[in-house]
A and B are shown apart, each in its own frame.
Chain A
Amino acid sequence: QKEVEQNSGPLSVPEGAIASLNCTYSDRGSQSFFWYRQYSGKSPELIMFIYSNGDKEDGRFTAQLNKASQYVSLLIRDSQPSDSATYLCAVYDFGGATNKLIFGTGTLLAVQP
């Protein structure tokens, strides 16, 4: 069973700090990786997508991918209270009978004013 692992948290950071969220995955052949943000009681929304090794930046968000070590991370710079949410890591599974996104259980981020 292919897995995506995240620390459930909560990860508590002060306002203005850098929040670092990590995700590991079991399938070495995985090619595409997604970070979704989910506010309490709401649906997931895409924050970042990455498929090449290295860093990808979009505003205050940076996704980092290391395929050799099988981890993907999300950095949030200048964290704001509005960033408080659950962050879901998802990895696309090409193998098996069903090509699908495999989601981690999410990390709860709490940004303290």
Chain B
Amino acid sequence: NAGVTQTPKFRILKIGQSMTLQCTQDMNHNYMYWYRQDPGMGLKLIYYSVGAGITDKGEVPNGYNVSRSTTEDFPLRLELAAPSQTSVYFCASSWGTAYNEQFFGPGTRLTVL
């Protein structure tokens, strides 16, 4: 099992550009999450999904969009990139919620200049 995979690993965007961060898991998990981690800070939840076709906002959703057309894939879309979106983005998945481990992907380091 590859677990949770993310692409790309690194990306530099110019202000106003758009991009999609890809996330795929092969563990048949229903729950998937997108977090961002700023230097010296904890992880902040951007969006999450409880199953294919169902998504919901987390703590910091502004400037992002998601979709969940399959169990395996949970892409994160950045529209009109801003310097404030410079961060490391982690995708995660889990079997359930409160009493289940979240498995994290390797992360995407995004810089917006």
**A residues adjacent to B (C-beta < 8 A):** 4, 8, 31-32, 34, 42-46, 49, 51, 88, 90, 92, 94, 98-106
Contacts and interface: CB of A to CB of B under 8 A. Distances in A.
A92 B42 contact: no
B25 to A, nearest CB: 13
B42 A104 contact: yes
20 contacts: A8-B40, A31-B98, A32-B98, A42-B106, A43-B106, A46-B101, A49-B99, A88-B42, A88-B43, A94-B98, A98-B45, A98-B48, A98-B59, A99-B98, A100-B45, A100-B59, A101-B43, A102-B42, A103-B42, A106-B42
List 7 tightest A-B contacts by C-beta distance, closest first.
Answer: A103-B42, A43-B104, A92-B98, A103-B43, A46-B101, A105-B42, A32-B98
B102 interface: yes
Nearest to B4: A43
A98 B104 contact: no
Contacts of A51: 99
Interface in B48-78: 48, 56-59
B67 to A, nearest CB: 18
Contacts of B105: 43
Contacts of A101: 43, 45, 102
Interface string B6-49: 00000000000000000000000000000000001111110010
Contacts of B97: 92, 99
Contacts of B57: 98
A44 B104 contact: yes
Contact of A4 (B42, B45, B101): B42
Nearest to A93: B98
